[in-house]
Amino acid sequence: MTMASVPAANGAEALDPRRWAALVVLLTGAFLAPLDFFIVNIAMPSITTGLGATAADVQFVISGYAVVYAVFLITGGRLGDIFGRKQIFLIGLAGFALASALCGLAWSPFSLIMGRLLQALAAAAMAPQALASIHALFPPHERGRALSIYGVTLGLSSIVGQLLGGALVGADLGGLGWRLIFLINLPISIAAFAVAIPLLRETRDGHRPRLDAGGVVLSAMALTAFVLPLIEGREHGWPWWAIATLLSAPLFAEAFRRYEIGLAGMGGEPLVPIEVFRSPGLLRGLAAIGTLYALAAFFLTYSIYLQDALGRTALQAGLAILPFSLGFLLGSTGSPMAARRLGSASSSLGFALSSTGLIATSQVAAMAPPGAMPPTALMAPSLLLIGLGMGFSIPTMMRVVVERVEPRRAGLVGGMVNSTLQVSAAAGVAVLGGLFYTVLGDRTDPAQVTHAFCVTLLAIAGCHILGAVLAAGLGRRQS
């Protein structure tokens, strides 16, 4: 059952306020899920001190969440198709609130990591329901606008995560410090839950697919085998098990591919139908999107640079992201107009802007005396340029990739986009965060922290340059 449309005088469907209100509620889940990935970055120094966490613990608190979230996103979307999107959304939202409480009350690094993994499972259930509902509730002439809003929401979560994290840690209400970044989810989730019950209507596909449990297990094993050794390997000096696990990732991926093909051949319903990858430009678009969230390592290392090298507080570190935030808002609001005017060239523009801003930020930080804040007149425009590029890239690439496939596959591909973003975020923190800690070594003086930060920025810029090459010429698919 879908929400009724309001007929217009000319026979076309008019905007239905209830439909858009429902989208706002669903976007709460889509917003909270990535928010809790980024909000942790700003609190990492406080968590490290408060719980006695190691560098590997810190990376796993971030990357473990991203991996579990990425692995089960498509599964969460399938559960919505089977049991109803409202029901799964509410279950995920309740689970997210409970897991957030566990994180806020964590007494050790291990308990925090366990809470984060449970939080990611709940997020994977609630977040996909927004994207699936866009295709279930919105007619084609409104769907593009709804997809753009969805893409902007995902991007804003990274900005709000930095600002809110800094404000909450700095406020230290009731002496809770970093715990507030998790406990703040409780009132938000409770309010969203109360509004969702009367406002949301149940929607599900007319055909109720079966859950591909084998596909879920094999995809989870492949992604875990890829990311886990990247996180733990460097910290433990690359033992044999880490190398063996990493080398097994392609084998699990191939097993997943063969299983999905065999399941489809027997008339089953695979988690990811392999034929969807035959859509022209889809793989290249997903690969380009996979470079975007290499920027997750920027948020982590920028916070460490500001607090450990420059002596800024968590609140000051959060506020320092404001130029990026302004750039993101300008880029996201201007992306539809620029896409129409630039055509196929628009898909590479955002990557070019962000990579330029990353290189400029690296140079500005390197030129400043050790321990001294770089000139705002130079740093602010560089950060704004990074935000401008990201604000342009996320909604643009979201539309470009989803439009590569026929409408009935759009929800599936949207889930694949989200999974790609989250895996790239996990890999970015693991690989590029590992690069930062490797360059840093045993030294923690301002000069060495700054050097490690600058090297990491140049590596992220290289990822975005690769993204620009991959995205070149994709543009909007012509009907």
Let me know: does 228 contact 430? Beta carbons within 8 Å: no
Query: Tell me, what's the pLDDT at 169?
Result: 76
Sign of torsion, CA 143 148 151 152?
negative
Residue 201 has pLDDT above 90, yes or no: no
pLDDT for position 271:
78
pLDDT of residue 342: 73
Q: According to the model, what pLDDT value does residue 365 have?
A: 93
Q: Encode pLDDT of 7-38 as tens digits.
A: 444 444 445 677 777 778 888 888 888 788 77
Please list, residue by residue across 310-330, b when 16 or more beta carbons sit within 10 angstroms of its beta carbon and e when fewer do.
bebebbebbbbbbbbbbbbbe
Q: What is the reported pLDDT for 11?
A: 41
What is the band of 204 on the pLDDT scale with cuts at 50, 70, 90? Answer: low
Look at residue 310 and tell me whether its pLDDT is greater than 50: yes
Residue with the bigger pLDDT between 94 and 52: it is 94
Write the DSSP string, 80-128.
HHHH-HHHHHHHHHHHHHHHHHHHHT--SHHHHHHHHHHHHHHHHHHTH
pLDDT at 456 over 70: yes
Of 48-52, 73-77, 194-198, 207-211, where does mean pLDDT reach its minimum?
A: 207-211
Give the range among 256-265, 338-347, 348-357 with minimum mean pLDDT. Answer: 338-347
- Name the more confident of 204 and 157: 157
**39-48, 141-150, 441-450 — which one is most confidently predicted on average?**
441-450
Q: Where are the beta strands (DSSP E) in 264-368?
A: none
Say which residues have a Cβ less than 8 Å from residue 442's Cβ, sequence separation at least 6: none
- Mean pLDDT value of segment 186-207: 81
237-244: average pLDDT = 86
Query: Which pLDDT score is estimated for 2?
Result: 40
pLDDT of residue 254: 94
- Above 50 in pLDDT, residue 395? yes
357 confidence band (pLDDT: 50, 70, 90): very high
Instruction: Answer yes or no: are the C-beta atoms of 190 and 97 closer than 8 Å.
Output: yes
Q: Name the more confident of 74 and 109.
A: 109
More confident residue, 76 or 112: 112
- Cβ pair 151, 121 in contact under 8 A: no
For residue range 254-277, list pLDDT tens digits in order: 999 899 899 888 888 787 777 778
Question: In this structure, how many other beta carbons lie within 10 angstroms of the beta carbon of residue 193?
Answer: 17
- How confident is the model over 433-445, as a mean pLDDT? 85
Instruction: Give the residue-averaged pLDDT of 39-54.
Output: 78
Highest mean pLDDT among 60-74, 207-221, 371-385: 371-385
* Mean pLDDT (the chain, rounded): 81
